[in-house]
Structure 1
Amino acid sequence: MYPTLLNIIPSVVHMAFLYFFLLVISSCGVDAMVFTLQNRCNKTIWPGIQASGGQPLLMEGGLELKPLQSRNLTAPKGWSGRFWGRTGCTFNVYGLGTCTTGDCGSGIYCNGAGGEPPASLAEFTLDSPVDFYDVSLLDGYNIPISIIPQDDSGLCPSVRCDTDLNLHCPPNLLVRGDRGQIVACKSACTAFQSPEFCCTGQFQNPNRCKPTKYSQYFKRACPTSFTYAFDDMTSTFTCRESDYVIRIQQ
């Protein structure tokens, strides 16, 4: 018996629906990425978020994470920006206040402002199908931070700076809080503002600007982190269409 038109139509409709469904699912995979912010500290932290110019602001640029709390944030394809942990914050009922480290000057919501150095940074450029990511100590260090890709392949490396660099921070880089406690460790560029440490002026090329004893202290403790301006060969990583965990810990 030959197939009739009534027999053919359901199959055609089914195949068309299946094609449309697969098309929607595949497009969803590249149009948005999920960042999971994790607080593995025994104290509350206040992550700050700064988008690059022209990129949408996530969570108004800031949020609170209590100990062991996590929060998911969705970023669109092509998003780029940075995350950092703020510590020692005090905010009033209106969300206004200041932080001991990483303060962005505008309360709990940074609203596009960056954090005051020193602050450990997790940086991303989501440029599907290839993402670029790094942990940067160019602005110094305040708290351990790691990036853990959640790709299906398992081939994308995690980038971790989970050592407490404040413990052995060189004395001339130390930052102390109101009670004299050590709260952060400046980068040499932030501390001295000189061309040889900031790789500016006559030192604005990799042949002239080399690692210093200060950047090497950071590099020994966190070998996959950005520690000076021309450190990208060992500190910038790529992945394809992954979600990411950003883990802040003490």
Structure 2
Amino acid sequence: MIRSILLLCLFGACAAHQLHITNRCSHTVWVGILGNSIPDGGGYELRAGASRTTNVPNNWSGRVWGRTGCHGSRCETGDCGGGRIQCNGAGGEPPVTLAEITFGYRDFYDVSLVDGYNLQMSMRPRSGYKSGSGHNYCSRAGCNTDLNRNCPSELAIHGTGGVVACKSACLAFNLDEYCCRGEHRLPQTCPPFHYSQIFKAACPEAYSYAYDDQASTFTCSGTSSDSTSYDIVFCG
């Protein structure tokens, strides 16, 4: 019996937390996953309307993103090298929308546009959490606006059918004032700027740039250290 339980744990069946990932887009999304351990080989294909649950252990910290337009050896957005279904520890090529979470005594999570945008995405607790109050407590983080439709031309990435992703200003111009480094490395010297304000106006519940912490970091406490599960939704 003990050996059977250990084998189940090795394959994630007794993992502490669950990420319920749903694709509400009208097209296939190839999920990418990266963290301090790599569940499901780091990714899988998720057809339109499909859902899948990924199990992660206690104290897991990582990110989830969506890859689009994957054909042959490459994806148009979010590619993790070689057009493979499983990213196996490789990160997504920006610009890409990220859902980030750290599980612990208190979970911290956000949806980030710091590396740019490619897909609408949301994240929120599904079960196992304590009741509480406050806008950023156990509530929905995300970007529910299609930024590709209104992406400034100097930030736009073009692909099949038009604009497929929108770069961050840091990625597009590599300037300290947009990347919050050098003389602009502190919050006081890197306030919101024109491009971050475009992202923030479109997606107020998402990180718009590096120092958007107060408005964009969400927290949630579980009823126990291993109880919380989350919904991550593409295009919803």
| TM-score range relative to shorter protein | 0.7 to 0.9
Does 1:61 find its partner at 2:42?
Answer: yes
Which residue of structure 1 lines up, in the alignment, with residue 202 of structure 2? 221
Report 1 or 2 for greater relative contact order, CA contacts < 8 Å, sequence distance ≥ 6. Answer: 2
Which of 43, 49, 65 is the matching residue for 2:33? Answer: 49
Per-residue CA shift, 1:192-236, capped at 9, x if unaligned? 011000001110001100111100011001111111111101110
Counterparts of 1:43 and 1:154, CA distance in 2: 36
Does 1:99 find its partner at 2:45?
Answer: no
Give the number of aligned pairs: 211
Which residue of structure 2 lines up, in the alignment, with residue 192 of structure 1? 173
Q: Which amino acid aligns with 1:161?
A: C
Displacement of 1:135 in angstroms is 0.4
Counterparts of 1:207 and 1:164, CA distance in 2: 30
Which residue of structure 1 lines up, in the alignment, with residue 213 of structure 2? 232
Per-residue CA shift, 1:128-161, capped at 9, x if unaligned? x200000000000000000021135454111121
Which residue of structure 2 lines up, in the alignment, with residue 243 of structure 1? 229
Counterparts of 2:234 and 2:131, CA distance in 1: 21
Unaligned runs of 5+ in 1: 1-29, 92-96
Displacement of 1:31 in angstroms is 6.5
* Secondary structure at the counterpart of residue 195 of structure 2: helix
Counterparts of 1:154 and 1:218, CA distance in 2: 30
Unaligned runs of 5+ in 2: 1-13, 133-137, 223-227
* Secondary structure at the counterpart of residue 171 of structure 1: coil
Which structure has the larger Rg?
Answer: 1
Quick check: 213-222 or 104-113, which moved more? 104-113
Does 1:208 find its partner at 2:189?
Answer: yes
Counterparts of 2:118 and 2:205, CA distance in 1: 17
Identity across the alignment (%):
49
Structure 1 residue runs of 4 or more that deviate by more than 4 Å after TM superposition: 152-155
Which residue of structure 2 lines up, in the alignment, with residue 110 of structure 1? 87
* Secondary structure at the counterpart of residue 147 of structure 2: coil
Counterparts of 2:15 and 2:30, CA distance in 1: 27
Q: Which amino acid aligns with 2:88?
A: N
- Alpha-carbon distance change, 157 to 180 in structure 1, aligned in 2, over 3 angstroms: closer
Q: Which amino acid aligns with 1:166?
A: N
